[in-house]
A and B are shown apart, each in its own frame.
Chain A
Amino acid sequence: MGVVTRVNGPLVQVSGLSEAAMYDLVDLGPDRIPGEIVGIRRDGATVQAYEYTGGLAPGQPAAALGVPLSARLGPHLLGGVFDGLLRPLTGAATWLGPRSVNVAGDQEWRFTPLAAEGDHTEPGTPVGRLDDAGALPYLLLSPGGQVTAVRAEGRLPIGAAVATVGGDQVGVTTSWPVRRPRPFGDRLGETVPLITGQRVVDLLLPVARGGTAAVPGGFGTGKTVLLQQIAKWCDADVVVYVGCGERGNEMADVVQELSELTDPRTGGPLARRTVVIANTSNMPMMAREASIYTGVTVAEHFRDMGYHAVVIADSTSRWAEARREFASRSGALPAEEGYPADLASALAAFYERAGLVRALGGAAGSVTIIGAVSPPGGDLTEPVTTLTQRFARSLWSLDRDLAYARHYPAVSWTESFARDGDALAAWHVRDGRAAWATQRARTASLLAEADRIAALAEIVGTGALPAHERVVLLGGRLIREGLLRQSALSPADAFSAPDRTTALSGAVLDVIDHCLDLAAGGTPITAIEEHDYSPLLRAREQPAARVPGLRDQVLAALR
């Protein structure tokens, strides 16, 4: 038993716990505020508290629990909303005072055994299945060994044990220390895209399953909307949405939308494949720090069942700031911009938890990590942004000028990258969309050329440009408005399946090519510029099958 000696916000010093282990949990004071040991000295320990420490005083007790900060993983996660320590918020008090969140739960699920008494099971293979926990069967995995007892088919509550394997109990829930990656077999070499349904991403800046993407952008540039679109429509089995130090209204909004929207693949509400972790900016800061790890642990847990999981973290900057805040209170020497020196290694370790792997049980599963970055002042040279860029395989940089011009998603085509872009385009070609790779290359080069010519036009005036360059300018506009723009508010266009994306980009490129031919053949440039392209620009709101017709309408009128 230890004693509190100092309280400075979330930083608590205790005496007498010098024999405890790093990262062990501690209960602080009479309200048993949870905290984690982050430093040990000969005479005591430094504890990072996860709740408001108001009223906590020197002299009060501190009890080490002998276990590290762990998440309770189970079938109750799908469709639920949790705090940064994965305690359920649904059903908790309206106002979150001390001890208002606890880990009860009274759900039940239908259990079907998948192993029989006497079977020998490999680690990570299922011993049973719960069928009504979410959109997909929830698998209960073996620790490995001989099954000596297993439940019969029937309904099970959250606290139940389902089997005994190798002398260990397998329960409906398990617990895992959030800062430690869950083990897997090996990383797989294939490159398969995560289909996000956002054209600018899927076509120009794709991310692979098991990959990592970072979304830096100043306030109001559209990070949250983009991430929420992906949370709703990407083709993952499980989505873990971590609201890390962001707005309460946004969390309420996304939770409501997910419960109202239908999952096109299962017919059930999208919420059934989603786990929401909410640590809004007015909730205790240090739980924000934990929430990132909690989120990725949940994703790994579903990966281990052979599912494709996506972790969406909005915003990783708030996580980094929580670390900075704590480091500064504990007197650690600051590195760049006051951030602790271990920021780079912490970020790298977090993004390393992504991957497409063969799980222990043999099935392929993945964790894809997509993190928003909120650079102060929109300054992309600040430490969290620059470090994240090093570890992310795709970067979707949001541009304030595009956002002000209401070009959404405001993904900058010049400041972004996708390291697996070519490999992922090749996948689409193999998947039957023959033109995908060429469309991607043409779109990118036309955009770059249009930007170059636009800069030139600012010096010499548009009138001084040769006809073919003016067509490229026009082409840039058609690509931006007819292809890249995608309103999250449009029911018809919020999601674009690959077939519709390729149809749209094909239509836009066909029209541009035709305009280039006309200009080369001597058609006056103003006639081309003043032409009515609105059927093509409206094609975004149409199903893929209608797109060629609209293209032909424009082409016919151009002749």
Chain B
Amino acid sequence: MIAPVLEFAEVTELTGPLVVLRGVEGVGWDEFARVRLASGELRHGLVLDVDEDLAVVQVLQGTSGMTRSGTRVSFTGSPLRIPVGPGWLGRVCDGRGGPLDGGPPVFGQATAPVGGVPLNPTMRRPPAEPVLTGVSAIDTLTTLVRGQKIALFSSAGLPHLELAAQIAAQAHTGTEPFSVVFAAMGLTHADATAVRDTLEERTAAGELTLLLNLADDPVIERLLTPRLALTVAEHLAFEGGRHVLVIMADMTAYCEALREVSAARGEIPARRAYPGYLYSDLASLYERCGRVRGRPGSVTVLPVVTMPAGDITHPVPDLTGYITEGQIVLAGGGAYPPIDALQSLSRLMRKGVGAGRTVPEHLDVAAQLLAALARERQARELAELVGESALTPADRRYLAFARAFREDLLRQRRDERRDLDQTFTRAWRVLSALPRRDLSLLAPDTLDVHYREGS
């Protein structure tokens, strides 16, 4: 059945990104709408509420320039669908999928609803293999696991975009097909150019899709950009058999758009004026990661969140942390990449590393590094209170260990790609700064092979 496409003319209200129409009939909730302006310009919208013959439509490009009398709205009878397929690879598009690279519009053999459809939890395959990033601190301590969602938490002024772009440029899954979908939201032109440059090679190789919603693009469009990215990724993964990494930066900008719509609708706000459904809305994005029984391929999701005022309890990082399976936290002050290892955690790592995946002793090395860093933190805090001279010799060894950790393992150039061998060689050098008897989390035979006293 072909849904009748009806045109409705009577706009009763325009507020924020919303259009209120009267006289509609047979329009369903969450339907996709086409909004034609008096100028002939075409915009797109979604139905947020239908009440008798009234419909509230959220316009993805915003309502600027729209008039009550000149606006025509038609409904398509279904939720928004987009073309999907490998045609997206190698393309640079705007936040709605329109080409920015001078190429033709993206076509696909198939279409899929941008909202996605929940995956039956019994059809999920628990994630169990790594995505390697070539960034030592991540690969050793917070390994990305295929099908996982893990957030990158940062603060204004820190190099999270550089790190996200470095991961997008370097990540791989060995010999298995791998692609990246990078969704940028609310980026400045300068940032967007930098990201585009970093990713140029991979885009040209047809391994990457870049979706760019810029800071001066319509705010509401940001609600679409990550959904577009995930829909493209799901198809590449579950129909095309690829391992797809979806990077979504910056989710804080996305959440602000959500808040704007909520405020325009006069909804009762929850924390910090964000809507009460922020958790569910974010989950409807992040939960689209995974692996599916009986199909090759995976979707790994890496949202980037800048914590307003560095506050990890702010609703956006907080609710993100409640949904993702771990986080990589950037904190100021350190060398690039300024990863705070103790606050960072990849929860699915224990299933995704080890013999046959990375190196056999991976989990023990990570646990030992973290235990030593935790001990160093205690010693450092004590030193700050009572002075370093009041520390025991053992505590001072931990301070030296942590320096070695930062200089040898953590610090890395922005275009430096380290393979696992290089990374673990460094990790063992760092561990060897401690006396062997302190390395109780490592098995004696492993120590025999790798430990080099005083190196």
Contact = CB atoms under 8 A, between A and B. Distances in A.
Interface of A: 5-9, 13, 52-59, 81, 89-90, 92-97, 100, 218-220, 243, 245, 247-253, 255-256, 278, 280-285, 318, 321, 324-325, 328, 334, 337-338, 374, 376-379, 404-406, 457-463, 489, 534, 537
A58 B51 contact: yes
B49 A338 contact: no
A97 B322 CA distance: 25
A55 B78 contact: yes
Given A94-B119, A328-B276, A337 B271 contact: yes
Contact of B124 (A220, A252, A338, A376): A252
A337 B127 CA distance: 36
B367 A406 contact: yes
B120 A324 contact: no
Contacts of A93: 120
A542 to B, nearest CB: 15
B348 interface: yes
Contacts of B31: 54-55
B318 A376 contact: yes
27 contacts: A9-B29, A53-B29, A55-B29, A55-B30, A55-B79, A57-B50, A59-B25, A89-B121, A93-B120, A220-B347, A245-B283, A247-B287, A247-B325, A249-B148, A249-B348, A255-B122, A281-B280, A283-B118, A325-B280, A328-B268, A376-B318, A377-B315, A378-B313, A406-B367, A458-B385, A534-B440, A537-B440
Contacts of B386: 458, 460-461
Q: How large is the interface on B (under 10, 10 to 19, 20 to 34, 35 or more residues)?
A: 35 or more
Contact of B117 (A97, A280, A285): A97
Contacts of B323: 247, 281
A57 B283 contact: no
Contacts of A463: 390
B121 A281 contact: no
A7 B53 CA distance: 11
B443 interface: no
B28 A57 contact: yes
A282 B284 contact: yes
B38 interface: no
Contacts of A54: 28-31, 79, 115
B126 interface: yes
B120 A5 contact: no
B26 A59 contact: yes
Contacts of A282: 116, 118-119, 283-284, 287-288
A338 B279 contact: no
A218 B319 CA distance: 10
B48 A376 contact: no
Given A90-B122, A250-B325, A537-B440, 15 more contacts: A6-B51, A7-B49, A8-B49, A8-B50, A54-B115, A94-B293, A247-B325, A249-B290, A253-B126, A280-B118, A281-B279, A324-B270, A338-B268, A379-B313, A405-B374
Contact of A461 (B276, B321, B390): B390
B201 interface: no
User: Among the interface residues B25, B321, B371, which one has the most CB atoms of the partner chain A within 10 A?
Assistant: B321
Nearest to B295: A94
A459 B390 CA distance: 12
A219 B318 contact: yes
Contacts of B327: 220
A460 B387 CA distance: 11
Given A55-B78, A249-B124, A95 B119 contact: yes
A280 B79 contact: no
B92 interface: no
Contacts of B49: 6-8
Given A54-B28, A96-B118, A249 B325 contact: yes
A12 to B, nearest CB: 9
A255 B318 CA distance: 27
Given A220-B347, A379-B313, A489-B350, A95 B117 contact: yes
A231 to B, nearest CB: 16
Contacts of B124: 248-249, 251-252
A96 B123 CA distance: 10
A31 to B, nearest CB: 11
A174 B340 CA distance: 54
Given A89-B122, A252-B125, A281-B283, A220 B321 contact: yes
A245 B281 CA distance: 12
Contacts of B186: none
A285 B49 CA distance: 17
Contacts of A376: 271, 313, 315, 318-319
B294 to A, nearest CB: 8
Nearest to A281: B283
Contacts of A459: 385
A207 B116 CA distance: 42
A282 B327 CA distance: 20
Nearest to B147: A249
Nearest to A89: B122
B385 A8 contact: no
Contacts of B293: 94
Contacts of B319: 376
Interface string B284-304: 100111101100000000000
B267 A328 contact: yes
B197 interface: no
Contacts of A405: 342, 374, 377
Nearest to B27: A57
B290 A81 contact: no
Nearest to B340: A404
Contact of B326 (A220, A280, A284, A337): A220
Contacts of B78: 55
B264 interface: no
Contacts of B105: none
B269 interface: yes
Interface in B325-362: 325-327, 342-343, 345, 347-348, 350-351
A248 B121 CA distance: 5
Interface in B51-79: 51-53, 77-79
User: Among the interface residues B287, B314, B327, B382, which one has the most CB atoms of the partner chain A within 10 A?
Assistant: B287
Contacts of B79: 54-55
B142 to A, nearest CB: 12
